[in-house]
């Protein structure tokens, strides 16, 4: 049952990912990416990690992709046409892809050699255990990430203010 579900969801995720990369319309790509996130969240659910699944939807599908779609809607982008002057990037991307597939295969190989070690403890996915781990064992990384996000917010505010000032000055000159 769970295996069948896994194959359906994994297939869905891969199909959405391929359509995300290959679609010429940026909005279709963004919608496909949301599909990837939701399929991944469902896979987390079948692995009895409901908190991570919900967080995946809340953060990636609910917040980040909304901003991406917002930008696409505001910019009113045309369909992508292939840039002929960037042809060398195809080789670069292909190389990276081969590297990633190699890494995935290596992980499969290593896991198979080490023998099946299934993670049975369902407590790892529960909210309270994640909270405890975040604020005891991994407190320093959490705080560093917090400071990083704060810096990003302050930076974004400064950037948007600086962009606005010349236009205000221009309008007052008129």
Q: Looking at 9-17, 60-68, 88-96, 147-155, which segment touches another protein (CB under 8 A)?
A: 60-68
- Residues 6 or more apart whose Cβ sits within 8 Å of residue 129: 123
Q: Please select the residue that binds another protein; options are 127, 134, 138, 153, rule is CB under 8 A.
A: 127
Say if residues 35 and 24 touch (Cβ distance below 8 Å).
no
| Contact criterion met (CB below 8 Å) for 25 and 69 | no
Q: Which of residues 78-117 bind another protein (CB under 8 A)?
A: none
The least CB distance from residue 152 to another protein, in Å, is 16
**Which of 79, 91, 62 lies closest to 22 in space, CA to CA?**
79
Residue 23 touching another protein (CB under 8 A): no
Nearer to another protein among residue 21 and residue 58 (C-beta): 58
Distant-in-sequence, close-in-space partners of 32: CB < 8 Å, separation ≥ 6: 16, 17, 19, 20, 23
2 binding another protein? (CB under 8 A): no
Q: Cβ neighbours of residue 37 under 8 Å, at least 6 residues apart?
A: 56, 57, 60, 61, 65
- Specify the length of the chain in residues: 174
Q: Check residue 26 for interaction with another protein (CB under 8 A).
A: no
CA distances from 135 to 130, 140, 143 (A): 9, 9, 9
Min separation Cβ 57 and another protein, Å:
4
Q: Does 154 interact with another protein (rule: CB under 8 A)? A: no
In the complex, the smallest distance separating the C-beta of residue 37 from another protein, rounded to whole angstroms, is 10
Specify the stretch interacting with another protein by CB under 8 A; choose among 67-75, 84-92, 136-144, 154-162.
67-75
The contact set with another protein (CB under 8 A) reads 25, 27-28, 31, 34, 38, 50-51, 54-55, 57-58, 61-63, 66-67, 69-70, 72-74, 126-127
């Amino acid at each position: 049952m769970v295996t069948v579900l896994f194959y359906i969801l994994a297939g869905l995720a891969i199909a959405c990912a391929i359509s995300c990369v290959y679609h010429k319309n940026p909005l279709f790509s963004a919608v496909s990416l949301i599909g990837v996130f939701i399929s991944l969240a469902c896979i987390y659910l079948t692995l009895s990690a409901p908190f991570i699944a919900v967080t995946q939807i809340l953060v990636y599908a609910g917040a980040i992709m909304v901003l991406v779609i917002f930008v696409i809607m505001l910019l009113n982008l045309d369909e992508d046409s292939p840039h002929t002057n960037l042809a060398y990037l195809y080789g670069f991307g292909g190389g990276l892809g081969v590297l990633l597939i190699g890494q995935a295969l290596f992980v499969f190989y290593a896991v198979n050699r080490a023998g099946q070690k299934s993670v049975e403890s369902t407590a790892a996915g529960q909210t309270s255990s994640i909270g405890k781990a975040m604020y005891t064992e991994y407190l320093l990384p959490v705080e560093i990430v917090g400071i990083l996000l704060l810096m990003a917010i302050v930076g974004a505010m400064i950037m948007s203010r600086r962009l606005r000032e010349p236009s205000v000055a221009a309008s007052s000159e008129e």
